[in-house]
Each structure stands twice: as structure tokens, then as C-alpha cells.
């Protein structure tokens, strides 16, 4: 019998489940679907109890090839959570964006009974490196490396029989570079390739009415109200609110004062319009990594944000599962160099 969250805690960084009372240790990924305390997921599928009962986890890495074969006899969809490991100010973990991708993928998997892979935990984050020797901790991938990683993961999955690959992205800057690999995968295989971005930044979307921060306090931006709330919901022990700071973005020193900037997008405002874009590093427009006001964050808002995002994504994936897909090239031949 697998212990519940109340019996101990899951440490995703060490890959062990630790039960302080009984001294039990086991792989954490098996328990990842039960990580966020208080998570409630509504099933959106019916009459599939027998199918669901075959799988001890929706994480592909927890299963044997027998389980994968049994799954592929019924379904051909898999989610690939991806994000980054990058600085998120003094109060949030570097894993923040990946937490979003993991938690939403986990909830979607449970809601509709589909597999997800382990996360691609490093992404395109060159702007978050700061100066050498500062110890910010960000691990960035060159765009070519990230695209190669996405390609090889997807081609491996298609090779085994998956026809619908949905990347669940938790990091905004990945969006800047992914179009070539998404097109390449579609053109070369015929598989259905999707990319979903369940986070806020400037686009409020399904989170309308949830955040308390006014727009000028950028609730959806880096380490502000939304991300802090989501991390609180996922693991409150990782959030150091005694270090939290209310910070605003500003125009970089290399631009004239006639330009202005108030969030993390690469564009800036001039004469009231946003036509100019510049390659800016994060420390050039906000020194501590926080863009906005995290002080109104709560775990309840985090759970509700995860619920709204995951239900929306789950419904969309269900619709995608209903369309015909013809894979014309399945074998991953170019898999060595």
C-alpha cells in the first residue's frame, strides 16, 4: 500500500519518498500525482474505470513496457510537461515554471486518463543568467539544444506508437524558439503536435477575477501573485515569504527615458505604443527577479488557478483525441547523432 501525503512528504529534487514515521523510501515520481496537498481533480471521462485500474500512475516513467502497450491499445495521446529551472527572485524556487507544467499535466492526466512524461526541466532562459559568479542558479539551454531535446523526446514517443504529442509549457521564453521543431515533427511524421501555454503573463484568460493585484502590479508575471500562489499550493515549504519583495520592472539603462517598460515581455513602450523590441536580460529591467507584488498570494488562489487551467487544457485535449491522425513516418531512425 502506498502511503498518503499525510504520512510523509515527496521531495522531487532527491527522487525519494520519505516517511519520517516509518522510514519508508520509494521513488517520488510514482507519488507525483498526489504531491500538492489539497488537490482535487474532477474526472471528465466516464465508464473508463477498468481502463484506469490498469495503471498505478499516469507518469510514463513509473510504468513498464507492458503498461505502455496496454495503454496504446486504447489511447495514443501523451503529454510532455516542459519549462525551465531559473531564478525566481529571493522567495521562490528555481523549479517554479516546471512546477506549473508538472502540476497541470498531472491534473489533466487524472481528469481524462492520459499519460504524461517526466518533465523537461531545463529551457531557454539566457536572460536569467545574470553576471558570472553571482550564483543565481539558472540552468539554460541553447535554443538548438532545447529543440533537439524536444525533437528526440517526441520522436521516441512516436516511434513507440503515440500519435498525439501535447507539450505542456510552463515557461514563457520557450515560446520564442519552439515553432521550428513543432513544424518539423508534424511535417516529418504526420503526428498531431500541440503546444499549450497555461500561464498568465499579460493574458488573463480563464483566471479572470481570481487575482487581487491591479494590472500595474502585474499579477501574472515573474514571481508575482500567481506564481507565488501556485508554489504555495504545490509545496508551501518551498515558498519563503519572509524574503518576498514588491518590485516593478523599469526601462534598461541602455535605452533613453522616452521608452518605458512595466513587465517581462521583450517589447517596450514608446509614445504610448509597443512596436519596439530589444534583447534584454532580466537584471537589466529588474534586479531581484521579481516583477510585481507577491504579497497577496495564497495557496487557495494557486489551487484554483491550477484547477481552471487544467480543466481547460483537459477539455481541449479530449477534443483533440477525437480527430483522425495518420502517422506516415514512425521509426526514429536518426537517433544516434
36 band by pLDDT with thresholds 50, 70 and 90: confident
| pLDDT over 90 at 37, yes or no | no
Candidate from 7-16, 46-55, 292-301 with smallest mean pLDDT: 7-16
1 band by pLDDT with thresholds 50, 70 and 90: very low
Residues 94, 88 contacting (CB under 8 angstroms): yes
Mean pLDDT computed over every residue of the chain: 90
pLDDT for residue 39:
86
The rounded radius of gyration (Å) of the Cα atoms in the chain is 20
14 band by pLDDT with thresholds 50, 70 and 90: very low
| pLDDT, mean of residues 282-292 | 95
Greater model confidence, 259 or 18: 259
Share of the chain above pLDDT 90, in %: 85
Tens of pLDDT, residue by residue over 45-100, are: 999 999 999 999 999 999 999 999 999 999 999 999 999 999 999 999 999 999 99
Q: How would you classify the pairing of strands 77-82 and 164-169?
A: parallel
Q: How far apart are the first and last CA of the chain?
A: 43
DSSP secondary structure string for all residues of 264-278: SSSEEEETTEEEEE-
pLDDT for residue 316:
98
| pLDDT, mean of residues 214-236 | 94
What CATH homologous superfamily does 39-217+298-320 map to? Creatininase (3.40.50.10310)
15 band by pLDDT with thresholds 50, 70 and 90: very low
Buried b / exposed e along 79-103 (16+ C-beta atoms within 10 A): bbbbbbbbbbbebbbbbbbbbbbbb
Greater model confidence, 70 or 16: 70
8 band by pLDDT with thresholds 50, 70 and 90: very low
| pLDDT over 50 at 4, yes or no | no
> What phi and psi, each to the nearest 5 degrees, are found at residue 166?
-115, 110
Grid cell in block for residue 28: 517520488
Give the C-alpha separation, 297 to 226, whole Å.
7
Tens of pLDDT, residue by residue over 106-159, are: 999 999 999 999 999 999 999 999 999 999 999 999 999 999 999 999 999 999
Residues 264, 282 contacting (CB under 8 angstroms): yes
Consecutive H or E run containing 108? helix 96-112
Share of the chain above pLDDT 70, in %: 90
| pLDDT, mean of residues 176-200 | 97
| pLDDT, mean of residues 284-306 | 96
Greater model confidence, 45 or 33: 45
pLDDT for residue 133:
96
Greater model confidence, 73 or 26: 73
| pLDDT over 50 at 19, yes or no | no
| Burial (CB count within 10 angstroms: exposed 0-12, middle 13-18, buried 19+), residue 275 | exposed
| pLDDT over 60 at 24, yes or no | no
Residues forming CATH 3.40.50.10310 domain(s) in the chain: 39-217+298-320
DSSP secondary structure string for all residues of 117-165: PPPB--B--GGG--STTS----BB--HHHHHHHHHHHHHHHHHHT--EE
How much is the pTM? 0.89
Tens of pLDDT, residue by residue over 301-321, are: 999 999 999 999 999 999 999
Amino acid at each position: 500500500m502506498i502511503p498518503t501525503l499525510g504520512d510523509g512528504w515527496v521531495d522531487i529534487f532527491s527522487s525519494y519518498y520519505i516517511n519520517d514515521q516509518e522510514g519508508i523510501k520509494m521513488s517520488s515520481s510514482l507519488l507525483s500525482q498526489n504531491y500538492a496537498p489539497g488537490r482535487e481533480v474532477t474526472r471528465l471521462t466516464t465508464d473508463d474505470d477498468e481502463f484506469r485500474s490498469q495503471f498505478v500512475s499516469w507518469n510514463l516513467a513509473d510504468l513498464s513496457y507492458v503498461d505502455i502497450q496496454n495503454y496504446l491499445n486504447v489511447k495514443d495521446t501523451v503529454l510532455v510537461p516542459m519549462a525551465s529551472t531559473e531564478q525566481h527572485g529571493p522567495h521562490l524556487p528555481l523549479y517554479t515554471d516546471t512546477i506549473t507544467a508538472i502540476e497541470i499535466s498531472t491534473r489533466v492526466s487524472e481528469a481524462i486518463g492520459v499519460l504524461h512524461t517526466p518533465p523537461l526541466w531545463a529551457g531557454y532562459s539566457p536572460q536569467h543568467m545574470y553576471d558570472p559568479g553571482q550564483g543565481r542558479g539558472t540552468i539554460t539551454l541553447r535554443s538548438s539544444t532545447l529543440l533537439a531535446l524536444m525533437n528526440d523526446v517526441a520522436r521516441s514517443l512516436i516511434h513507440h506508437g503515440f500519435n498525439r504529442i501535447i507539450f505542456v509549457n510552463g515557461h514563457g521564453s520557450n515560446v520564442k524558439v519552439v515553432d521550428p521543431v513543432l513544424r518539423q515533427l508534424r511535417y516529418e511524421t504526420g503526428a498531431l503536435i500541440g503546444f499549450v501555454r497555461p500561464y498568465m503573463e499579460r493574458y488573463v484568460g480563464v483566471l479572470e477575477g481570481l487575482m487581487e493585484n491591479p494590472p500595474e502590479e502585474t499579477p501574472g508575471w515573474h514571481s508575482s501573485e500567481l506564481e507565488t500562489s501556485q508554489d504555495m499550493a504545490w509545496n508551501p515549504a518551498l515558498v519563503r515569504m519572509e524574503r518576498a519583495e514588491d518590485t516593478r520592472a523599469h526601462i534598461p539603462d541602455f535605452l533613453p527615458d522616452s521608452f518605458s517598460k512595466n513587465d517581462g515581455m521583450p517589447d517596450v513602450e514608446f509614445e504610448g505604443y509597443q512596436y519596439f523590441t530589444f534583447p534584454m536580460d532580466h537584471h537589466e529591467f529588474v534586479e531581484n527577479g521579481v516583477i510585481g507584488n507577491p504579497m497577496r498570494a495564497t495557496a487557495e488562489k494557486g489551487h484554483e488557478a491550477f484547477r481552471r487551467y487544467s480543466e481547460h487544457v483537459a477539455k481541449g485535449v479530449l477534443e483533440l483525441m477525437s480527430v483522425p491522425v495518420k502517422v506516415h513516418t514512425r521509426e526514429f531512425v536518426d537517433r544516434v547523432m
